[in-house]
Amino acid sequence: MQLQEEVNDVERIGREFMRKTRFEYLQPSDQMRGVAQPPLEAAYTGEGPVIELEPPGSFRVAVIPLRDAIEGRESIRKYRDIPLALDELSFLLWSTQGVKKTMRDLFTFRTVPSAGARHCLETYILANNVEGVDPGLYRYLALPHRLAGVHLDPHIADSVVAACVNQRFLKDNAVTFIWTADAYRMTWRYGERGYRYMHIDVGHVCQNLYLAAQAVGCGVCAVGAFHDDELNYLLGIDGETQFALYLAAVGKID
C-alpha cells in the first residue's frame, strides 16, 4: 500500500511542480530581503590544467544564412572520427555561454538570454577528440573564457556513458556538453519559480549550440536521459545546490 502511494505521488509530481511555482505563489526573494547576491560564476578551486581559449574576436568560421541554419537543424548521433579544433570548441563555448559584457559585477550580458540576466548555468564538457586537449571532463570558465580541468581520467567517458543510460554516441564523438544549474543564482531573485526559468534557459543554450555547430561542420544531439545522482557525482557537484540539467553530443559530420 505504501509503495503504491509513493508511486502515485511520483505520478503527480509534474503537475504539483507547475502548481506550486505559479506566479501568484511567489514569496519575497532573498534579493527583495536585501541579501547579497551570489557570485556570477562558480569559483574554480581545482588543481587541474587551465587552458586559454581563442578570444571571440579571432574566430574564423563558415558564414551560414540564418534560414539555412534553422532549416538544417536536426539531431545527429553518428559522427566522423575527426578531431574538433580547439578554436572551434572555443567558438561553440562562446556561442552558448559567452560573456559579452559584465555590469559592475552585478550581472552579465551573454550570447544567450536568461531570466533577469541571472545566467545560472555552468558548462562542463567531456572532451573525447579535441586537438591539444587531453581526454576528460573540463569546466568552461565563462568570465575569463578558459577551460579548467575537472577529471582527466581517460576512462571517465565510459562512466559518463553509463550514467546516461549507455548512450554510446556521447563517447564516440568529439565533445559532449553538460549543462548544470547553480540554483541559488536564479532563486536569489525568483524564489521557487526560478526552477522553471533554469529549464527554459538551458533550452536557449542548447538551441544556440545546434545552430552554431553547423558553422564548424558539426552535428549535435541533445540528451535528457541520465541518472541524476551518477552524473552529478562524476561532475563533483552535490545534486542539490548544483545539478545536471541537460547534455548534448557534438561531432564532425559530412
Rounded (10°) angle between helices 183-190 and 194-213: 130
**Burial degree of 197 (CB within 10 A; 0-12, 13-18, 19+):** buried
Condensed to tens digits (0 to 9), the pLDDT of residues 31-46 reads 999 999 999 999 988 7
pLDDT value of residue 2: 59
pLDDT value of residue 4: 60
Other CB atoms within 10 A of residue 65 CB: 9
Domains of the chain by residue range: 2-252
pLDDT value of residue 60: 85
Low-confidence ranges of the chain (pLDDT < 70): 1-9
Q: What does the CA dihedral 49, 119, 53, 163 come to, rounded to 10 degrees?
A: 50
Find where cell 559522427 sits. 79
Grid coordinates belonging to 57:
574576436
Q: What is the rounded distance in angstroms from the CA atom of residue 241 to the CA atom of residue 251? A: 31
Other CB atoms within 10 A of residue 49 CB: 13
Condensed to tens digits (0 to 9), the pLDDT of residues 83-96 reads 999 999 999 999 99
Q: What is the rounded distance in angstroms from the CA atom of residue 3 to the CA atom of residue 76? A: 39
The CATH H-level (homologous superfamily) assignment of domain 2-252 is NADH Oxidase (3.40.109.10)
Torsion sign, CA atoms 207, 208, 209, 213: positive
Condensed to tens digits (0 to 9), the pLDDT of residues 164-190 reads 999 999 999 999 999 999 999 999 999
pTM: 0.94
Quote the DSSP letter at residue 26. P
Radius of gyration of the chain from Cα atoms?
19
Report which secondary-structure segment, H or E, holds 70. Answer: helix 66-71
Quote the DSSP letter at residue 240. S
